[in-house]
Chains A and B, each alone.
Chain A
Amino acid sequence: RKEVEQDPGPFNVPEGATVAFNCTYSNSASQSFFWYRQDCRKEPKLLMSVYSSGNEDGRFTAQLNRASQYISLLIRDSKLSDSATYLCVVILNTGGFKTIFGAGTRLFVKA
């Protein structure tokens, strides 16, 4: 089982739709969580950190469920510019720190 798993998609949604991505992690030593966005042939860029209390940044909402070991990203009112791959990132603390990247979920927003 992969340490961080994401549905690869692609998710094809119309403009204005709400779309949700989930990411599961297997190691209970996971301590920090992030969502990154990666455009085609570009570097990943931090979208948002994920906190236990949940956090919102405009149209984006991230949630963490430690009991079930998953994090989620909700995008409301999708824009064409939201089309990208969304990477789930988990940092483990097992004596040393290790960053694990999910393979990403591809999103296409269409007019």
Chain B
Amino acid sequence: DGGITQSPKYLFRKEGQNVTLSCEQNLNHDAMYWYRQDPGQGLRLIYYSQIVNDFQKGDIAEGYSVSREKKESFPLTVTSAQKNPTAFYLCASSITAAQETQYFGPGTRLLVL
């Protein structure tokens, strides 16, 4: 089945620790995105990538990093510089970045211990 997968479903981070969230898609989509969702708020864009080996900062990139070494994969690292990382993280992809519908993975819920 084609789709977007994210892992893990739940992730616990200790103070000062970097953690990496996985996002994989087999839809052959060029564009991929990372969003953060906090309770009662809309999705906020962290980073996006329009093509392999290229990515741009979104609205709230501070404390996060990404890589796009393969078309299928767009991992997100939450660094220790992100002081309030507890949130629901959603990865999405679209055929291209231009006016295309985005399809979401099931999300990762990050909690700080």
Number of A-B contacts (CB under 8 A): 40
Residues B41 and A49 in contact, CB atoms below 8 Å apart: no
Which A residues between 18 and 54 are near B, CB-CB below 8 angstroms? 31-32, 34, 41-46, 49
Which B residues touch A94, using CB under 8 A? Answer: none
Contacts of B109 in A (CB 8 A): 41
B43 touches A49 (CB 8 A): no
Stretch with Cβ within 8 A of B (4 or more), from A57-65, A66-74, A75-83, A100-108: A100-108
Taking a contact as CB atoms closer than 8 A, the residue among B33, B41, B101, B105 that contacts A103 in the complex is B41
Size of the B side of the interface (Cβ < 8 Å), in residues, is 20
Per the bound structure, the CA–CA distance linking A42 and B105 in Å amounts to 9
State whether B40 touches A42 (Cβ < 8 A). Answer: no
In the complex formed, the residue of A with least CB distance to B45 is A99
Is B41 in contact with A46, judged by CB distance below 8 angstroms? no
Chain B contacts for A41, CB-based, 8 A: 88, 109
Taking CB atoms, residues of chain B closer than 8 Å to A4 are 42
Q: 22 pairs across A/B with beta carbons < 8 Å?
A: A4-B42, A32-B99, A41-B88, A41-B109, A43-B90, A43-B104, A43-B106, A43-B107, A44-B90, A44-B104, A46-B101, A46-B103, A87-B42, A91-B99, A97-B98, A99-B45, A99-B102, A101-B35, A101-B43, A103-B40, A103-B41, A104-B42
Interface residues of chain B, those whose CB is within 8 Å of chain A, are 33, 35, 40-43, 45, 88, 90, 97-99, 101-107, 109
Q: List residues of A whose CB falls within 8 A of some B CB.
A: 4, 8, 31-32, 34, 41-46, 49, 87, 91, 93, 96-97, 99, 101-104
